[in-house]
Chain A
Amino acid sequence: MSEVIVFYFFAAVTLLSGLRVISTSNPIMSALYLVGSMVGISGLFFLLNAPFIAAVQLMVYAGAVMVLFLFVVMIFDTKDDGKKGNSPGPLVGGLKALSIGGLAGIFLYVILFKISNFGYLSPDPSAPQFEVKNMAKLLFTDYMFSFEVLGLLLLVIPIGTVALSRIRGGTHAK
Chain B
Amino acid sequence: MGASGFEITVNTVKMLLIFLLMVQLVPILVWVERRGSAFIQNRFGPNRVGPLGLTQLLADAVKFLFKEEFRPPKSEAFLFYAAPVLALIPGALAFGSIPLSAPFDLTWGGETFSFLFQSFDLGIGIVFVLAISSLGTYALLFAGWGSGNKYSMMGAVRASAQMISYELALGLSLVGILLIYGTFSFSEMIEAQKGPLSFMLMGKNVEIPFLPNWGIFYQPLGFILFFAATFAETNRSPFDLPEAEAELVAGYHTEYGGLKMLMFYIGEYGHMMVASALLATFYFGGWDLPFGSDWLKEAIGSSFLYSLVMHLVFMTKVLLFLWVFVWVRWTLPRFRYDQLMDLGWKTMLPWALFNTVVTAVVVVLFSSVGNS
A touches B (Cβ under 8 A): yes
Which residues of A are at the interface with B, using a C-beta cutoff of 8 A?
28-29, 35, 51-52, 55-56, 58-59, 62-64, 67, 70-71, 74-75, 129-130, 132
| Inter-subunit contact B145/A129 (CB<8 Å) | no
User: In whole angstroms, what is the CA distance A109 to B250 when docked?
Assistant: 57
Given contacts A63-B137, A67-B137, A67-B141, contact A132 B124 (CB under 8 A): yes
Residues in chain B near residue A35, CB distance under 8 A: 138
Interface of A is mostly: helix
Contact residue among A55, A62, A63, A71 (Cβ-Cβ distance under 8 Å from B124): A55
B87 CB–A CB distance under 8 Å: no
The smallest beta-carbon distance between B128 and chain A, in angstroms, is 5
| Inter-subunit contact B137/A51 (CB<8 Å) | no
User: In whole angstroms, what is the CA distance A62 to B137 when docked?
Assistant: 10
Interface of B is mostly: helix
Residues in chain B near residue A67, CB distance under 8 A: 137-138, 141, 160, 164
The tally of residues in B whose CB lies under 8 Å from a CB in A reads 23
- CB-CB contacts of B314-346 with A at 8 A, as 1s and 0s? 000000000000000000000000000000000
Residues in chain B near residue A58, CB distance under 8 A: 131-132, 134-135
| Inter-subunit contact B135/A62 (CB<8 Å) | yes
| Inter-subunit contact B157/A75 (CB<8 Å) | yes
| Inter-subunit contact A59/B131 (CB<8 Å) | yes
B76 CB–A CB distance under 8 Å: yes
The smallest beta-carbon distance between B178 and chain A, in angstroms, is 11
| Inter-subunit contact A63/B157 (CB<8 Å) | no
Contact residue among B157, B164, B184 (Cβ-Cβ distance under 8 Å from A64): B164
Closest 5 CB pairs of A and B: A63-B134, A58-B131, A55-B131, A55-B127, A59-B131
| Inter-subunit contact B128/A51 (CB<8 Å) | yes
Which single residue of chain A is at the shortest CB-CB distance from B132?
A: A58
- CB-CB contacts of B126-165 with A at 8 A, as 1s and 0s? 0110111011011001001100000001000100100010
| Inter-subunit contact A55/B164 (CB<8 Å) | no
Residues in chain B near residue A130, CB distance under 8 A: 123
The smallest beta-carbon distance between A51 and chain B, in angstroms, is 5
| Inter-subunit contact B164/A28 (CB<8 Å) | no
Contact residue among B78, B123, B145 (Cβ-Cβ distance under 8 Å from A74): B145
Given contacts A70-B141, A132-B184, contact A52 B127 (CB under 8 A): yes
Known: A67-B138, A67-B141. 20 other contacts (CB 8 A): A28-B76, A28-B79, A28-B145, A52-B124, A52-B184, A55-B130, A55-B131, A56-B131, A58-B131, A59-B130, A63-B131, A67-B164, A70-B141, A71-B160, A74-B141, A74-B144, A74-B145, A74-B153, A74-B157, A132-B124
Which single residue of chain A is at the shortest CB-CB distance from B163?
A: A67
Which single residue of chain B is at the shortest CB-CB distance from A73?
A: B145
B122 CB–A CB distance under 8 Å: yes
The smallest beta-carbon distance between B341 and chain A, in angstroms, is 14
Jot down 21 A-B pairs with beta carbons below 8 A, ordered by A. A51-B122, A51-B123, A51-B124, A52-B124, A55-B124, A55-B128, A55-B131, A59-B127, A59-B130, A59-B134, A62-B134, A62-B135, A63-B135, A63-B137, A64-B164, A67-B138, A67-B141, A70-B138, A74-B144, A74-B157, A129-B123
Which single residue of chain B is at the shortest CB-CB distance from A46?
A: B122
Which single residue of chain A is at the shortest CB-CB distance from B135?
A: A63
| Inter-subunit contact A56/B153 (CB<8 Å) | no
List B91-134 residues whose CB lies under 8 Å from chain A: 122-124, 127-128, 130-132, 134
